[in-house]
């Protein structure tokens, strides 16, 4: 019985943590998208974030760093991004991002995307 309570407690705390933190709402490039090499990355969150404490990097799919982006706030305090200056050869990449929501909680994640050759 104790085990059941512990399991339920774990589920409830995960749900609570998720509900009160900002989440990535949309991104460019989009998750699992394929296309020509992006010239910029833009991330939009479900609530305002602290851009000064945020970072974006592009990694190869084997986690080797390609570029850390110089980021700026975009149209509102829930969106930030920056230009990609390194050429991205066709292949699989990750956008690695980290930010801090308005309530002070750190959140981070990865967005896989593919660059395909354009004729
Ligand atoms: Cu939070």
The beta strand positions in 12-105, using DSSP E, are: 24-28, 33-35, 40-45, 55-60, 65-68, 72-73, 79-83, 91-100
The CA 43 to ligand 1 mean position distance, Å, reads: 18
- pLDDT score at 5: 53
The CA 65 to ligand 1 mean position distance, Å, reads: 28
Range of 93's domain? 2-115
The CA 106 to ligand 1 mean position distance, Å, reads: 7
Sign of dihedral through CA atoms 59, 119, 27, 86? positive
Question: Is the model more confident about 59 or about 4?
Answer: 59
The CA 102 to ligand 1 mean position distance, Å, reads: 8
- Total domains in the chain come to 1
The CA 90 to ligand 1 mean position distance, Å, reads: 37
pLDDT (tens digit per residue) in 17-59: 555 689 999 999 999 999 999 999 999 999 999 999 999 999 9
Q: Using a pLDDT cut of 90, give the percent of the chain over it.
A: 76
Protein residues within 5 Å, CB atom, of ion ligand 1: 20-21, 103, 105
Residue 49's CATH number: 2.60.40.1220
Question: Is the model more confident about 19 or about 108?
Answer: 108
């Amino acid at each position: 019985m104790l085990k059941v309570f512990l399991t339920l407690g774990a589920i409830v705390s995960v749900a609570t943590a998720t509900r009160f933190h900002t989440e990535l709402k949309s991104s460019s490039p989009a998750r699992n998208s394929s296309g020509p090499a992006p010239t910029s990355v833009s991330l939009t969150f479900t609530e305002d974030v602290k851009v000064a404490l945020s970072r974006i990097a592009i990694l190869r799919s084997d986690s080797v760093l390609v570029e850390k982006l110089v980021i700026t706030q975009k149209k509102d305090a829930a969106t930030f991004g920056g230009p990609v200056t390194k050429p991205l050869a066709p292949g699989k990449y990750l956008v690695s991002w980290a930010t801090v929501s308005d309530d002070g909680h750190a959140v981070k994640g990865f967005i896989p995307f593919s660059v395909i050759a354009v004729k």
